Structure 1
Amino acid sequence: MSYAGLAIFDDGRLNGVIFLSNNADPNSNKDAPLKVGFAGGFLGLSLGGAPSVKYTYLSGGAQVNVADGAGPLILAYDDRTGDSVLQGGKLGDFLYGGSGNDVLNGGGGDDTLIGNLGTNIIRGGSGNNTASYVGYSGPNAPDTLGVQVFLDEREAYNRDGFGFHDTLIDIQNVVGTRFLDILVGDAGDNILEGHDGADVIRGGAGNDTSSYETSAFSVDVNLTTKVNDGGAAWGDILESIENVRGSDYADSLTGDAKANVLEGGAEADQLFGAGGSDTASYEYSLFGVTVNLTTGANTGGDAEGDILSDIENLRGSRYEDVLTGDATANVLEGGAKADQLFGAGGSDTASYEHSLLGVTVNLATGSYSGGDAQGDILTSIENLAGSQNADTLTGDAAANVLAGGAGNDRLFGGEGNDTLRGDAGSDALVGGDGDDRLVVIEAPTLVQGDAGNDKLFLQGAETFTFIDMNFKEVEAVYVRDSLTLDMSGVSTKVAITVQNAATTLATVTGTKGNDTITAGAGDTVLDGSTGSDKLSAGAGADTFTFKANFGRDNVYGFESGADHFDVSALVNSFNDINISGLNGGANTLITFEGAGSGNKIILHDVAASSLDASDFGFLLT
């Protein structure tokens, strides 16, 4: 049986599930995307293997599934009574429920899910997903009532208590009704669009955006004064909102003291940063833009006629853009295609944060390839920000800041006093000549300072382990968070400074060389490993650990009753410890029976008579 080129098959399991194909052979579905107009009462409908299915109309309680590997399912589902299950594919889908209690599963991709009436389960799956209530009117609802959506509580319901109560899972963004809505985000980055009506938009803890992209009139949104007017913004209350997306008309968007992203959209817009490091975005412009923060001349695409004030950063379109900064420190992101980025003074950054592929950018040679960097021209750019993929970023003779972003990145500072930040991923950081700062938040494959006085900053990850193969020519290490650092496999000495906060615990083991280890404000476990080390207590309750062949160590700042010596690897009792005064009693010498004459502790500014068994930890037998 077929209809308009559509073949319909039973799946052979006698379960009432119907298989649709645009080829007479259901296993060879390679033709053009389906356009199906279908009305019936099948128990189940499986759109298996279709590369793309558009505008499928069903009625009754249906089960719709797009098989793995299928293209996007754009589904307008007109159900009057039944409860349905709609399953999207790996790409972005548009799923529209009916009046029953439906289950909408977006699957992969960036999905838009409309539950319509009923008590629905709306699950976005992976991707950046949107729950939309834009078409909702509600049974007998007056014009003043809309929806309440709480992403932090995973639920949505009609404001007056009738109509529906949805459960939202893996949803990042919400579009409200044409009535009065309350939209509340979660700890992530949310896009909240109240649509028409005087709405309450509350962003939550993330970097959140209030969108007016579908407003039928221009909007005036001011994050500083909290006064919002015009179009869909009329009467809106915005809380914990960092970014604003305007309409397709001439908008006025004003930020606040925080770092804001302002996107005017089409027509001639006015964007006012109002403090903070603010960005004018042209990400969704249908044409390339030319924006100049120095001259104020802005042309092309959505930038045509725009007026920018107190704007420090620019984000271009998906086309060929020309972005020029000013005398301040600017971040310029060209986006896709071959862009021209001009720093024009200040310490400026070329950003590839949103590139879908990794980039290779070399400021020394002027070579730019891969992802959004392909064909770019960078002038007067000092710093680079990579993508969320594996990047290779190389500086020049100036002082550069290179931030890899997520992914396994390779960062080369070159000459100059550079700052290299690995961010997420297993990164390789090579400072080059100069006094460099290397920052990692996950265990790196390599940190190498090269010539100069180089510093390594550790934060984020729970455990860092270094050996000679992945730690080279770095003179100082700073431990920023509550983590474990093991450098016992490194031969060269290093100065380690713990900068942890109070109530946190850091555990540090030094190198085989003569190290200097200083505890922080929180609790610290200090183990000098071998070598003649200098160990200093901090403000917390610190533990000094000594193991076999620890050498001749000096301990400073020890406070009896607060700090302790862990000697459990050396002796079993206080009777095996020899304590005597030095320098007229100002300092104390501590040795251990059976530990060897070369292993001793010089305790500074502590009298021998003040120590007892409670200051030591032993191996329990």
Structure 2
Amino acid sequence: MTIEKAMRTPNAQFELRHLEQLQPSFLEQVTTGTSEDDVYYVTLSDDTIIENPNGGDDTVCSNVSYTLPNHVKNLVLTGTANIFGAGNNSNNILIGNEGRNRLNSGRGDDIVYGGGGDDVINGGEGNDFLFGETGNDILNGEAGNDVLEGGEGDDTYLFSAKSEQDTIIDNQGHNSIRFHTDLSLNDLTVEIQNNETGGKDWLIAVKNSNAVLTIKNQYTQNGTTPAVSHFIIGTQKLDVNNFAKYFDISLTEHTESGQTIDGNDDNDYLIGTSGDDIIDGKAGADIMEGGDGNDTYYVDNVKDVVIEQAGGGEDTVFSSISHTAATHVENVTLTGSANIFAAGNNSNNILTGNEGRNRLNSGRGDDTVYGMGGNDNLNGGEGNDYLDGGNGNDVINGDTGDDILVGGNGKDILKGGAGNDTYIYGDNDTIIDNQGINTLKFSDGLNNAKLNLKTIHNDDGSQSWEITSEQGSALIQNQIGADGSISIDRFQFNDQTYTAAQFQQAFQTLKAETIKFAGTDGDDTLHGNAADNEIDGGNDGHDTLYGHDGDDILREHSETYYGNEPASDDKLYGGNGNDKLYAHVGADLLDGGAGNDYLEGGEHNDTYIFGKGYGHDTIFDFNFGFDSEASLHRLNANVVKFSGGITLDDLEITVEKGYDKTSIANMPDSNKFVSNPLLDGDTWHIRIKGTDDVLTIKNQSGIYGAISEFQFDGNTSYSTGELINHFKLPIPHMIGNTNVVQYTGQPVEELNRDVYNNFNHTIHADSDNSDLDLSRYTSVVEYRGNRSDETITLGRGINIVDTASGNDTITDPGADNTVIMFGRNSGNDTFNPYGGSNTQVLFKEGITLKDLQLKTGDDWVLTIKDTGDTLTIHDIANNNVDSFVFGNGKSYTADEINKALITENTQNNGIL
């Protein structure tokens, strides 16, 4: 039996599971094998197996330590116990279990699998294959040409002058080579060879011997992590960089992007590369030298030393103990939750605390300090520093320099010290500062209407100010000194700055709301108040503007596109009052609220809100003409959304030709667009029945007008064309994306352009038309006439013509399909079919053969009996009509109609 059969056949698996349930035998067993492939189950190390030479491929499965007897080839250890297994002089296969095994394969050419656990595998004599599999394994090929593959885990390979030709294959974990104690670095040579995969093999040879250890793919192609990262020789443990340095090996091509370099529990000396290295000495007093690149160090011992040179990149230390940044190290981050400190140096440092109580001293540079969690003490030292307390009740000292102080969450004490300092308004802060020209900056979107100023008169004649709002509070101690000196000189709201006197006066006159509102290029939320506010959201950003009470002006200026999409979508809420809302680029939402409001959405897909109680609102917007160069993403699809349960039946619509353009604030410039903006619409007045609420839409039309869709509660929506149909408005419009409805009395120049030729057209006659030319149309055209006498020239596509009453002349210059409808009250019509195909006369409902008379000749004249209605078909011989169809669906050729209806052939009496 092969080892594969022993491990993988169903019967063998059943037997192995059975073995796990066996109780150890207390009596020594003696078993004699057969000439077949035998499988033995051993539960006692002293069990004896007797096999004869050539007695088959035999396997022992054992849950105890066991050495194979002569002539038995395979050993499988089962269970999870920490046991050993040994081979013999044959070519053995040994397989470990899930425990920690010691596996000695013996003298043959053996294959050994460690299985789970941290195993020790010795190949002995012969050319062996040793596989550590999972766990941190030790592999020793010993004599012979061996292949060693550690697998998962941090594996160690043993090598000596007697090892002969060994090969390591392992690109998993942090692996080591331990050289025999009889070797030194001077006994070794290292050669690098390119392999077939593009990687680098390292060949480590022992001088004056045949022993060579090959590390396959020590570096894979473009790889930066070595297969073997540490080399242990004598009392020295060298990382790959020091080992390479000793043998004058350049690692530049592998280290430009940096390496991860780990020490052990000893005192390590770790050297980085020219790239961005991650160096962790682990336990022990380690020396870590990163070299060039932006290096990261992990410190956990007070005796750890970090070495960096000037110009050596921007480096960071993560420390679980108190730590002072070494010279040329820029950043320190404390980890864990212990109450420890960090200190900077003369560089521009970034210090970051942990979740404990930290003392963070930033030093002389222009530093950034984050307290994070805990009640921290932050000290800026010299330089212009940014100090942020984070969570907890912090004490923040700016010291010298122009500093920015942020208390964060908690009850914080902020002391700017010397210099012109800026305080960020926060939650429960106390500000102490009587030096320099200082500023208190309020966050964007602060609701000024909810801002309050309380003056506290102190015993020494000074005044403290307490400023409260929805966002927090700030107590400025001795804001006005007894000598008239000022602590905080300037108060900043967005881009507007006010002196202390202006700020105080605004509250004394109850007009704090007169402070103007201006946003940034970021995502702003700005609130107005009861006054007449002017609120500017700034450029770009996803802004939300609230006018609240008063007659407000809300503006957005976004103009940036990223690819096909605008940079920002803004929301503008007018609130009460007669407001003006101006958006620009973006899919914006505009809600005027109560009052008579004016709204302009600008470019892209905007949504307007309207409902009961909104007053008389006016919208101006636009769309783009659809032409062969149009970019569909630039076609505006603006929406009016009715709120409050309004339905279509609650509305009535009137239309005025044209619109007043004098009040348009942002009329589109056609020179800015590839496709021209359409600006020739009409004025629609949409009234909510039973109220005084009216929505006026300027530049509205049935095709690509200001508004494309009307939405109602319950996910109900109607296109402009559907709205026109519902209210029976005689306005050209679209039905879906392929059907155009026209009226001959309306201007149709825009619709007659070539780009619309492939659309389906329904044309209604709503006035007297003496001449109608449809020859430019190449798609489906359905014409519905009126009582006037019309002359119609058809197009080259599919034509369906119902001229209604009147004496009409229809000319078909050669259409693909033509249907001429004829019936009672159609008048005296004439049809000139010149070479078309699939031409059809369709008799209207109620007409049968018995109702018709036919006069033949060069022209045919069909007459409806007892009426004056006639249809004359010119030159019937050369331009035959293909079929005559009746309302019941029956169709006849011209010959069949002629046979039934000619006056000379009365015997048919109208029956075929």
When normalised by structure 2's length, the TM-score is: 0.31
Structure with bigger helix share is: 2
When normalised by structure 1's length, the TM-score is: 0.42
Report 1 or 2 for greater relative contact order, CA contacts < 8 Å, sequence distance ≥ 6: 1
